[in-house]
Amino acid sequence: MLALDCYAELRPPNSATYIGNERFGAAGIAPVWPDSAATGRKKIAAYLKADYRPLESVLRALDAQYATVPYVTQLDESKRQRLQTDHLRLSPAPLDMMQLTQECDALICHAGAGTAPLFLEAGKPVVLLPQQAEQRVNADRIEAMGVGVSIDR
């Protein structure tokens, strides 16, 4: 698994052993993708948070160009229904991460220590929208390796 030890540069040499990131299993539901074959749209997975201020702008941008299956944590059902479109199928529950890594073309997330590395290990590029300091450090390391892009609002 890709090691993204966000504290590596702060730790004295040989002071600790980095074990790695947590692994996600198939605990979530299967993604229901919009019909991308008919439109030729790439499949984008997204794991975002409802309190992310530019959430609706990000979802509208995805809807304009991609077939997207986002899961938005703590999003109420009425808002989920309102944001749903033909090309944007917001999941009502967490998704099967292993299945997503096999089916999507890329991932958009907040640069958490578990989600981004899982998709990178599967060879999928990531677009990172960090919200807090540790996510920002993860995003910087991923971008420095050339396997993702960080967009800091």
Is residue 103 in a domain?
yes
Q: Does residue 15 lie in a domain region?
A: no
pLDDT over 60 (residue 20): no
In a domain, 10, yes or no: no
* pLDDT at 63 (0 to 100): 96
Local structure of residue 75 (DSSP, 8 states): -
Residue in this structure with the two tokens 């730790």, named with its chain if needed:
11
Token pair of 110 as six digits = 């907040």
Q: Confidence band (pLDDT; 50, 70, 90) for 3?
A: low
pTM comes to 0.84
Percent of the chain's residues with pLDDT above 90: 64
CATH number of the domain within which 43 lies: 3.40.50.2000
pLDDT for 4 equals 66
- Let me know if residue 8 belongs to a domain: no
Whether 122 shows a pLDDT value over 60: the answer reads yes
d(CA 107, CA 116): 8
The pLDDT > 70 percentage for the chain reads 87
40-61 pLDDT, tens digit each: 999 999 999 999 999 999 999 9
> What tens digit of pLDDT does each residue of 60-111 get?
999 999 999 999 999 999 999 999 999 999 999 999 999 999 999 999 999 9
Answer yes or no: is 144 within a domain. yes
Exposed/middle/buried for residue 80 (C-beta within 10 Å: 0-12, 13-18, 19+): middle
Assess if residue 123 is contained within a domain. yes
pLDDT at 21: 58
Q: How many domains does the chain have?
A: 1
Q: Could you list the residue range(s) of the whole structural domain that residue 98 is in? A: 36-150
Burial track 91-129 (b if 16+ CB lie within 10 A, e otherwise): beeebbbbebbebbebbbbbbbbebbbbbbeeebebbbb
Domain membership of residue 142 (yes or no) is: yes
89 located within any domain: yes
Contacts of 69 (CB under 8 A, 6+ apart): 31, 32, 33, 34, 43, 44, 45, 46, 89, 90, 91, 95, 100, 104
Q: Categorize the per-residue pLDDT at 19 as very low, low, confident or very high, splitting at 50, 70 and 90.
A: low
